[in-house]
Amino acid sequence: MKKKIGISYTKSSFENYWNWITKEDMQDDLELVLLSFEKNNTEDIYKCHGFILTGGVDVHPEFYNGKSIYNNSPDIFQPERDAFEQKIYRYSQEKKLPVLGICRGMQLINVLEGGKLIQDLDNGNERHKKEDSDKEHNIIAEDGTLLHNIANSRKGSVNSAHHQAIDPDALGINLAVNAYDDDDEKIIEGLEFKNKSGKAFMLCVQWHPERMTNKAENPFSENIKQEFLSAIRNNT
């Protein structure tokens, strides 16, 4: 029986996530499942063996007691998406299933673990906020972290398209920073579990490994993908 990878639906370039995992990656033992808050196909969550939580619109501030009005907030939030993806994450932790959180996905996981967000980076966001295309900048991975071990590198170039960030003074329970912006260590670029005992694979990144221009050669994309797939294959 094939193991199923659930990918949460986003209205923002969903095809990039879907196409990132190729037929060659899946071989004959993995398949992809669309998990959509619009369809509310909750039953499909329980058929999956690993999950990707994707990017997209800001998490509703009520999830972390944030301000209801802030700079660059979206015209419309998607609280139904927040609630649907909360089910995905809670199920993954209950059943100890691998999770990869990308951009908004990382922010959601921090919030669900009791953390908070910087709601807008304001004028300090020239390096990160998407304009005509993703921004590119360097990150520094923390020595000895899961991310460092996966990428086999402490420094790398990544892409960015976000205006919010993890609040460094309000990390979620049992979460640890694994990467910072190399120009501003207040901007957190990745999270993982601090105590991994009894936990499945869980890695969060603020960048978009699924749509890097050189993703097949960049260890902060390709290595992450392959480690995530291996974690699903090897999880019992």
Q: What is the pLDDT of residues 78-113, one digit of tens each?
A: 999 999 999 999 999 999 999 999 999 999 999 999
Q: What is the mean pLDDT of residues 125-129?
A: 55
Q: What is the mean pLDDT of residues 187-211?
A: 97
Distance, in Å, from the CA atom of 68 to the CA atom of 56, rounded to the nearest integer, reads 18
Positions of E strands within 173-221: 175-181, 184-193, 202-205
21 has a pLDDT exceeding 80:
yes
226 has a pLDDT exceeding 90:
yes
Distance, in Å, from the CA atom of 115 to the CA atom of 168, rounded to the nearest integer, reads 9
Q: What is the pLDDT of residues 153-192, one digit of tens each?
A: 999 999 988 899 999 999 999 999 999 998 877 899 999 9
Q: Among candidates 103, 12, 94, 11, which has minimal Cα distance to 52?
A: 103
Instruction: Give me the pLDDT at residue 104, please.
Output: 97
Instruction: Give me the pLDDT at residue 162, please.
Output: 84
* List of residues 6+ apart from 51 with CB closer than 8 A: 5, 6, 7, 8, 35, 88, 89, 92, 97, 98, 99, 100
Instruction: Give me the pLDDT at residue 132, please.
Output: 55
Question: What's the CATH number where 28 sits?
Answer: 3.40.50.880
- CB count within 10 Å of CB 69 equals 8
Q: What is the pTM of this model?
A: 0.95
Q: Which sequence positions are flagged as catalytic?
A: 103, 208, 210
Range of the domain at 125: 3-234
Backbone angles phi, psi at 204, to 5 degrees: -125, 140
Q: Name the pLDDT band for 39 (thresholds 50, 70, 90).
A: very high
13 has a pLDDT exceeding 80:
yes
Q: What is the mean pLDDT of the chain?
A: 94
Instruction: Give me the pLDDT at residue 161, please.
Output: 82
Q: Which residues on adjacent β-strands are paired with residue 192?
A: 176, 203
**Tally of domains within the chain:** 1
User: For residues 220 and 154, is the Cβ–Cβ distance under 8 A?
Assistant: no
127 has a pLDDT exceeding 90:
no
